[in-house]
Amino acid sequence: MFDLKGKTAIITGGGSGIGKAAAQLFAKQGAQVYIIDLDSVAAADTVEAITKQGGNANFYSCDISNQQQVHQVIDGMGKVDILVNNAGIAHIGKADTTSEADFDKVYRVNVKGAYNCLHAVLPLMVKQKGGVILNVSSVAALVGITDRFAYSMSKGAIQAMTFSIARDYIEHHIRCNCICPARVNTPFVENFVSKNYPGQEKEMFEKLSKSQPIGRMGTVEEIAVLILYLCSDEASFITGCDYPIDGGFIKLNN
């Protein structure tokens, strides 16, 4: 089950966190993995880890907010079976405390970045008469979270794009779904906490962990397994869906 032999997969933000775990798991299942990440050092480390385990992977240093760069990377691939739109950035702030520059930055990376990858990949998938797209959204797209205005906006857009792509390309045998993780223990979260709560890292980490009824953050491996399933042939009847993976955050918080 979940065999990806002969398939080509692009994973954005594959240098660390959820993207790295997904890249390693996809390669383990036989996929040719292409990592797109602005951090070339982290991406190279992921590729090295994969090749040491006998997998096949390459990376491209690319700013996904730049459509020309994205097309330069993807157009030459010729065949793309799977796209995982995972790359993203966070931000703290309410509507009236979020600067225009910060709002634009979150939009460029989280929303336009995903769109640019879709813009490049979809013609290839249409031509080959099939493909799978998995967008990484967030519980912030589904419930109100304090001080996450721009981030929630961007993840809500990811969810809406998922439904639109699923509807528009179903006749081309292209499936599109998204997942909505709650807090996951990643370098992304660690950097976020240290940047925004200096001197309170331990307390904030515990607070964020306990905000999920299950009592802890998720692991990147747990998220990667769901991504693998939704991108595999075993999920061939699933499209246009959003999947919370949240330790009970949405339904069990009273």
Please report which helix (H) or strand (E) contains residue 162, including its range: helix 149-168
- Burial 125-164, CB ≥16 within 10 A → b, else e: beeeeebbbbbbbbbbbbbebeebbbbbbbbbbbbebbbe
Residues 90 and 87: their CA atoms lie apart, in Å, by 11
> Measuring CA to CA, which residue among 205, 184, 185 is closest to residue 194?
205
For residue 82, give the amino acid letter.
I
With beta carbons less than 8 A apart as the criterion, state whether 56 and 100 touch. no
**Of these residues, 60, 115, 151, 169, which one is catalytic?**
151
Residues 112 and 171: their CA atoms lie apart, in Å, by 25
Residues 22 and 86: their CA atoms lie apart, in Å, by 10
> Measuring CA to CA, which residue among 10, 13, 109 is closest to residue 65?
109
34 is catalytic: no
Dihedral sign for Cα atoms in the order 221, 239, 66, 88: negative
Question: Mind telling me the catalytic residues?
Answer: 151
